[in-house]
Amino acid sequence: MQAQSTMQGVRSDPTLALRFRAMTECDVAAVCASDRAAYEHPWTEGIFRDCLRVGYSCWVGEIEGENVAHAVMAVAVGECHILNLCIHPGWQGRGLGRRLLRHLMTFARTRRADSAFLEVRASNNRARALYASEGFCEIGQRPGYYPATKGREDAVVLARAL
């Protein structure tokens, strides 16, 4: 079976091979399109370009050459900080977020990180459940951290040992 376009939100075979590779400048437009589809307040092309420029660990997840996921992570001084983890909405609910998260954790270990941190919107129960199932625990909150339709939204700060 062949996968149908995610832009139509249809997949005929969710077991297709997900392949991770380093993000490049050439990916930024597609990554931004995916971020816009997934988030009400997406990152800009400039933010992604800056992350690439400063050497953050930037990844793209592809199925049959189609960009279905991306992530940005900073790794330094024994820690990693997941800054962005996104699955295109047409591919959500298929376990790709878990696979991408595990890829990031494995990569962070190769860079000698022994702990991982991230922030997640307080209202993002689906992501919070994923992170909890992968060993992340709440260690704090950042009031008003995220822009929201009506003002600001708190971030929940999560951490886990690697």
Active site residue 119: yes
Structure tokens at 116: 């991982």
DSSP 99: H
What pLDDT was estimated at residue 162?
98
Range 18-161: architecture per CATH: 3-Layer(aba) Sandwich (3.40)
Active site residue 62: no
Sequence spans of domains, the chain: 18-161
Q: Residue 149 — very low, low, confident or very high, per pLDDT cuts 50/70/90? A: confident
Q: Are strands 137-148 and 115-121 parallel, antiparallel or unpaired?
A: unpaired
Q: Residue 16 — very low, low, confident or very high, per pLDDT cuts 50/70/90? A: low
- Candidate list 39, 62, 79, 119, residue with the active-site label: 119
Q: Where are the alpha helices (DSSP H) in 17-67?
A: 28-38, 45-53
- Candidate list 40, 64, 66, 131, residue with the active-site label: 131
90-112 per-residue burial string, b: 16 or more CB within 10 A, e: under 16: bbbebebbeebbebbbebbeeee
